[in-house]
Amino acid sequence: MKKIIIAIVILIILAVVGFALAGKFSRNEEKLTVLPAADSLKVWVEVLTPKAFELDAKNGNQIRELQTGDELSAGAMIETSKEGFINLYFPDGSILRVSENTKFVLENSYFDISSGKLNVKISLLLGKVWSKILSLATLDSSWEVETSNAVATVRGTAFGMEYVSGQSSVIGSENKVEVAVLDPETKRAIKDAMVTIEPDKQVSIAKEDVEKIKAGKKLLMAIAITVEVKKEDWIVKAKAADEKINQKIEQLKENRLEMPEIKKELRQEIRETIKEKIKERINILEPKKNIIETQVEKQIDTKLPAPQPIQKQAITPITSGVNSIAIVPDRALGEITEEEVVNFKAMMISNGIKRDVTTEVEWKVVGFIGDINNQGVFTAKLAPDVAEYGEVPGTVAAIWKDTKTNEVLLGKSAIFKVKAKVIPDENTAG
C-alpha cells in the first residue's frame, strides 16, 4: 500500500515538474549560446578531449567539470583526466596547452587592456603544459611556469614543461627560456643556478639534484633534445598548433596590422571556435535530456508498482480546508544553490486548526535536486546527470497517513530551482 501511495505522489507531481523541466531545457539552450564577451579579461577554456575539472584549492574536491566556453579566474586549480586535453586562452592571445593527467594552479592572470600588460603565473603540480606566448607588450609583463624545484620565465616564446615524480623538464621551442632552480623549502631561486634554453634544447632538474646544485657539486646544463623526446605526442601536437598560429600572424602582418591588432584578431578567431564548440554541445544536450526523462520513467516503472489498483480514497490532495497538509519552508523558494539547506515543516490543517506533523510524515524529493531527511531538512545537490544543465527544477512532498482511518494526505511545496555551485569571482581584473 505504501509503495502504491508513493507511486501516485510521484506521478501527480511528475507532470508538473516535467512541464517545468521542458521549459528549463529550452531556456538552457539559449543560455549555452552565450559566448564569453569579446572584450573579456578572463581566461577562456576549450575542451579538446574530456575530461577536465576545476577543483577546490582548499580540499581538492571537484567543483565543476569544465566545458568549452567556461571562464577561469586567478586562483583556479585545474586537473585533467587520463584522456583530457584542454587549451586555456589568455586575453592577449597567448595559450596554455594542458595535457592529460595534469594538475596546476592558475596563480595569476592579470591583463591591462590599455597598456597590454600581462602577468601570468602557473604552478605546475603534476603533468605537462605547453606555453605559446605572444610577444609581451610591456617591460613589466611576465609569464612564469613553476614547479616545486624550477621556474621557467619568458617574454615571448613557446616551450613545454613537465613535472613528474619530482623531476622538472623544460623543452625549448621558440626563442629563449630562462630556467632557474628553486629551493623547495624557501621557494626562492638558488644563486647562480640559472640556464638559458634555446630552441630544441632541454634541461631536467630532479629533486635529488637540488642539494648538489646548492653545494656547487652539480652544474645546471642545457642539452640537445633527443629524437625520442621530439616524437612525444604532446610535443608534436603543440608544435603543429603553434605553427598554424605563426602562419596566421604572418598573414596578418602582410595586411600591415600591428601586434595589438593581430592579438585582437586571434582572440576573435578563438571566440568563433568556441562558438562552434558550444553549438555542437547544444546538439548533444537535447537527446541527452530525453534519455534522462526516460530514466525517470523507468525508475518509477521498475521500483514502484503500477497505479491502477489504487483505492479512490488513497490520496487527498492539498487544500486550504479540512484535513490538508501545508509545506512551509524557512525561507523564500526561488533559486537555491547546491549545498544550501532549507528547513521544511509539514503543517496539518484540520477544521481550521494547525498542527506540526513534520516528524510524522514521509518526506520525498521529486526531481534530481537533492536530499531530505526525516526532520524535513533539505540539502540541495544536483545529480551528476543533470548538473551540466546549470539549474534544475523540482519540489518537496510530504505524505501523512492516519493509522486509525488509513486516510492519506499529500502536501507539496512550490516548484523551485537548484542551480549548480560556481566559484565566486574574486579577481575582476582577470
Query: 253-257, 277-281, 389-393, 417-421: which range is least confident on average?
Result: 277-281
Cell of 136: 609581451
CA dist 375 and 210 (Å) reads: 58
- pLDDT for residue 429: 44
- pLDDT for residue 48: 93
In this prediction, residues 297-314 reach a mean pLDDT of 40
Per residue, the 3-state secondary structure of 139-181, as one string, reads CCCEEEEECCCEEEEECCCEEEEEEECCEEEEEEEECCEEEEE
CA dist 336 and 424 (Å) reads: 15
- pLDDT for residue 30: 37
Answer yes or no: same fold for 39-240 and 311-419: no
In this prediction, residues 7-14 reach a mean pLDDT of 49
CA dist 274 and 66 (Å) reads: 13
Quick count: other Cβ atoms within 10 Å of Cβ 273? 15
Name the more confident of 124 and 186. 124
Query: 144-158, 201-215, 312-326: which range is least confident on average?
Result: 312-326
Q: Longest C-alpha distance within the chain, in Å? A: 92
Asked if residue 371 has pLDDT above 80, the reply is yes
- pLDDT for residue 389: 66
Query: 126-135, 208-217, 223-232, 388-397: which range is least confident on average?
Result: 388-397
- pLDDT for residue 251: 92
In this prediction, residues 188-210 reach a mean pLDDT of 93
User: Tens of pLDDT along 20-60?
Assistant: 444 444 334 334 434 676 667 889 999 999 899 999 988 88
Asked if residue 222 has pLDDT above 80, the reply is yes
Contacts 24+ apart (CB under 8 A), 369-377: 369/393, 369/394, 369/417, 369/418, 370/338, 370/394, 370/418, 372/344, 372/396, 376/343, 376/344, 376/345, 376/346, 377/341, 377/342, 377/343, 377/344
Q: Tell me which of 3.40.50.80, 1.10.760.10, 2.60.120.1440, 2.40.50.220 is the CATH number of domain 39-240.
A: 2.60.120.1440
- pLDDT for residue 194: 93
Average per-residue pLDDT for the chain: 81
Quick count: other Cβ atoms within 10 Å of Cβ 80? 25
CATH class of 311-419: mainly beta
CA dist 163 and 376 (Å) reads: 49
Asked if residue 260 has pLDDT above 90, the reply is no
Q: How confident is the model at residue 385 (pLDDT cuts 50, 70, 90)?
A: low
Contact 19, 293 (CB under 8 A): no
**Which single residue is written with the C-alpha cell 517545468?**
20
Please name the residues in contact with 287: beta carbons below 8 A apart, sequence gap of 6 or more. Answer: none
- pLDDT for residue 176: 93
Name the more confident of 155 and 315. 155
Query: 12-26, 121-135, 396-410: which range is least confident on average?
Result: 12-26
Query: 8-17, 23-32, 229-238: which range is least confident on average?
Result: 23-32
- pLDDT for residue 313: 38
Cell of 306: 503500477
- pLDDT for residue 419: 87
Q: How confident is the model at residue 149 (pLDDT cuts 50, 70, 90)?
A: very high
Contact 302, 294 (CB under 8 A): no
Length in residues, the chain: 430
Contact 412, 333 (CB under 8 A): no
Domain ranges of the chain: 39-240, 311-419
Asked if residue 99 has pLDDT above 50, the reply is yes
- pLDDT for residue 198: 94
Asked if residue 334 has pLDDT above 80, the reply is no
